[in-house]
Amino acid sequence: MKKILTAIFTASVIAFSSPAVFSTEEVVLTHNGGVPSLRGLVEVSDVNKAEALKKVPREQHLIDRNYVQQPPLIPHSIRGYQVNLNANKCLSCHSFKNAGAMGATKVSVTHFITREGTTLSDVSPRRYFCLQCHVTQADAKPLVDNTFTPVDSLR
């Protein structure tokens, strides 16, 4: 059904427009609401080839934060780390119990507070999935131009 609707849409764009011939780029942009994306000129429903994973060095120096509430970046590779409902590999080093022996940074005390403000004895469920906020440091080119500069107090 979707392919039929796409074909009808494409045919109607060509039929009701000027007699000029449309390129694939023009049809895709028209079909996507005229908004080009970072995926390139690919229909949302099409499978795009994934980029190669960025190389993350095993250990790096800590990168300074750029704004006050920025979650710290992860200075090591996490490939193969399991973080799901049953296990959290991050806590095997960063928990209060293990951080000293592992030479790792302890989980912030803010991670033990629930939405209601109750302090728990273990990491709050809303803070359990570390990779929602914390990302690995990688030498990757920016996807878009960026003129952001950190606040003076953090430089």
Residue 33 — left, alpha, or beta (φ > 0 → left; ψ -120 to 50 → alpha)? left
Domain boundary among 11, 28, 47: 47
Do 95 and 33 belong together in one domain? no
pTM, rounded to two decimals: 0.62
Q: Are residues 88 and 110 both part of a single domain?
A: yes
Task: Give the list of residues 6+ apart from residue 136 with CB closer than 8 angstroms, or none.
Answer: 56, 73, 74, 76, 77, 78
Which CATH number characterizes residue 117's domain?
Answer: 1.10.1130.10
Helix (H) or strand (E) holding 91: helix 91-94
**Does one domain contain both 7 and 66?**
no
The pair of three-digit structure tokens given for residue 87, joined into one six-digit string: 């296990």
Q: Which residues of the chain have pLDDT under 70?
A: 1-34, 36, 41-42, 44, 58-59, 154-155
Q: How many domains does the chain have?
A: 2
pLDDT of residue 154: 63
